[in-house]
Amino acid sequence: MTAVIAGLVALYLHLWKLGYMGALACTANHGCEYAMTSRWGRFLGVDVALIGTVGYTLIVITALVGLRSRWIDDPRITVALMALVIPAFIFTLRLKYAEFIILKTFCPWCAISAVTITTHLIAVVMDWKRVQRETRDY
């Protein structure tokens, strides 16, 4: 569920950058606008909010597949989630560094994503440990 919410937030930010959302709901210091329109708002020419939208969509799809009874203990699902979540977490660290240290601003929308991906990292590591225990027990 958290990936759905974070994905919708990322979609909102992307649509705002495309000019479809009107004024951006943010703090009084306009930290969201400043962060989103800075050079840090793009990565290799792609809007970071679009990257987040696609990434969270892939996380949701992979997690839903992993909930099916035939896949629940399959380590490949956990590995796939790790392949999505770990780079996203590292990317988020890069963006938070830019936001706080370089731009000296705060974007609450970005914070939602940072908290979400950190939670997902903890969950996927815990699931990896679970899957490892269960495969040893066989």
> Which percentage of the chain shows pLDDT scores above 70?
96
pLDDT at 12 over 60: yes
Whether residue 92 has pLDDT greater than 70: yes
Confidence of residue 33 (pLDDT cuts 50, 70, 90): confident
Given this model, what pLDDT does residue 64 score? 95
Q: Is the pLDDT of residue 94 over 70?
A: yes
Span 71-75, average pLDDT: 87
In whole angstroms, give the CA distance from residue 31 to residue 19: 18
Judged against a pLDDT cut of 70, whether residue 28 lies above it is answered with no
CB 48 within 8 Å of CB 15:
no
Contact between 75 and 131 (Cβ < 8 Å):
yes
Burial of 31 (0-12, 13-18, 19+ CB in 10 A): buried
CATH number of 2-137: 1.20.1440.130
What pLDDT does residue 11 have?
A: 95
pLDDT on residue 97:
95
How far, in Å, CA of 52 to CA of 91, rounded? 10
Taking the CA atoms of 92, 94, 97 and 103 in sequence, report the sign of the dihedral they define.
Answer: negative
- What are 75's two structure tokens? 């380590």
Q: Give domain limits for the chain.
A: 2-137
Q: How far is Cα 130 from Cα 53, in angstroms, rounded to an integer?
A: 28
What pLDDT, on a 0 to 100 scale, did the predictor assign at position 132?
Answer: 85
Considering the entire predicted model, what is its pTM?
Answer: 0.88
Sign of the four-CA dihedral 66, 69, 71, 74: positive
Confidence of residue 40 (pLDDT cuts 50, 70, 90): very high
Three-state DSSP class for residue 106:
coil
Averaged pLDDT score across all residues of the chain: 91
Mean pLDDT of 72-87: 94
